[in-house]
Structure 1
Amino acid sequence: MPKINGNEIRPGNVLEHNDGLWAAVKVDHVKPGKGGAFAQVELRNLRNGSKLNERFRSADKVERVRLEQKDMQFLYESDGMLTFMDTETFDQVELPAEILGDRRPFLQDGMTIVVEFHDTEALNATLPQKVTCTIEETEPVVKGQTAANSFKPALLDNGVRITVPPFVGQGEAIIVNTETMEYSERA
């Protein structure tokens, strides 16, 4: 596995640190007035979800881990565990539902998502960047409300509340960006 310097750590990198696998969530490069520069890194443990703040100087060497990514199909959820199937080998993998966090409602039956593996252990799951949803309820269009950035609240079919442009009505299918959880475009 390649070793990288402490100042080369970027958000999303997976590192082997303190005998565990950690994902870099946030990285701040700090240059204090006195002393050497360092990277203040917020890490999340991929196995148990715990968080850790660590300082890495540019001279520190850390082990960078490359995870294998596989497209898998979502089958079902039971007892807080999500079950995914490899579409080529039909192998099934279970991951805790908390791994998706507040994006969990966007997971739909039969959806293809990316599951990341370290050797044979499934560690992480990533939703597609754009998901199609239907608007359950929203306010009717107010005539004359044409301001460029006026948005109105809407409730999606999966129970998530977002804001949409005034021209989008109830029952319409829209595309939502799962990273920012915002309206993207009409479907």
Structure 2
Amino acid sequence: MPKINGNEIRPGNVLEHDGGLWAAVKVDHVKPGKGGAFAQVEMRNLRTGTKLNERFRSADKVERVRLEQRDMQFLFETDGMLTFMDAETFDQVELPADILGERRPFLQDGMTIVVEFHDSEALNATLPQKVTCTITETEPVVKGQTAANSFKPAVLDNGVRILVPPFVGQDERIIVNTETMEYSERA
């Protein structure tokens, strides 16, 4: 496995640290007035889900782990476990539903997502960046409300509340960015 310097850590990198596999969630590069610069890294354990804040100086070496990524199809959910199937080998994998966090409502039946494996152990799942949803409830457009950054609240068919532009109406299909959980465009 390749070793990288502490200042090369980026969000999304998977690191081997203290005997566990950690995903870098947030990275802040800090340059204090006194002393050397360092990277303040917020990490999440891929097996237990615990969080850890760690400082890495540029001289520190960290093991970067490469995860195998496979496209898998979502089948069903039972008792808080999501079941996915590999389209080529028909192997089924179960992952806890909380692995998707607040993006869980965007998972739809039959959706193809990316599951990450380390030594044939499923560790993480990533939704597609854009998902099509239907607006079930929103306020009617107010005439004259044409300000550049005016948005109105809307409820999607999966129960998630987001802000949409005033020209989008009820029962319209829109595309939502699952990373930022914001309106992207009309479908």
The answer to whether TM tops 0.5 is yes
Partner of 1:4: 4
Equivalent residues, number: 187
Query: How far is the alpha carbon of 1:96 from its aligned partner?
Result: 0.4
For residue 85 of structure 2, what is the aligned residue in structure 1? 85
SS at match of 2:100: helix
1:157 and 1:146 map into 2 onto residues whose CA distance is 26
**Normalising by structure 1, what TM-score?**
0.97
When structure 1 is superposed on structure 2, of 160-169 and 28-37 the one drifting more is 28-37
**Distance (whole Å) between structure 2 residues aligned to residue 24 and residue 31 of structure 1:** 19
1:31 Cα offset (Å) = 2.1
Distance 2:143 2:33 in 1: 57
* Higher mean C-alpha deviation, range 136-145 or range 113-122: 136-145
Q: CA deviation at 1:89?
A: 0.3
Taking structure 2 as the reference length, the TM-score comes to: 0.97
Q: Which 10-residue stretch deviates more, 28-37 or 154-163?
A: 28-37
Provide the secondary structure at the position in 1 that maps to 2:69: strand
The aligned runs of 1:57-76 (5 Å cut-off) are 57-76=57-76
Q: What runs of 5+ residues in structure 2 fail to find an aligned partner?
A: none
Task: Note the alpha carbon deviations across 1:54-89, whole angstroms, 9 max, x for none.
Answer: 111211111000011100000000000000000000
Find the aligned partners of 1:79 and 1:158 in 2 and give their Cα distance. 19
Deviation for aligned residue 1:32:
2.3
SS at match of 1:74: strand
User: RMSD of the alignment, in Å?
Assistant: 0.9
Deviation at 1:163, TM superposition (A): 0.9
Deviation at 1:8, TM superposition (A): 1.1
Cα deviation digits, residues 24-79 of structure 1 (max 9, x gap): 11112222233222211111100011011111121111100001110000000000
Distance 1:145 1:33, change over 3 A: closer
Distance in 2 (alpha carbons) for counterparts of 1:30 and 1:178:
29
Give identity over the alignment, percent. 91
Q: Distance in 2 between matches of 1:82 and 1:142?
A: 42
C-alpha displacement at 1:7, in angstroms? 1.3
Provide the C-alpha distance between the structure 2 equivalents of 1:61 and 1:107, rounded to a whole number of angstroms: 37
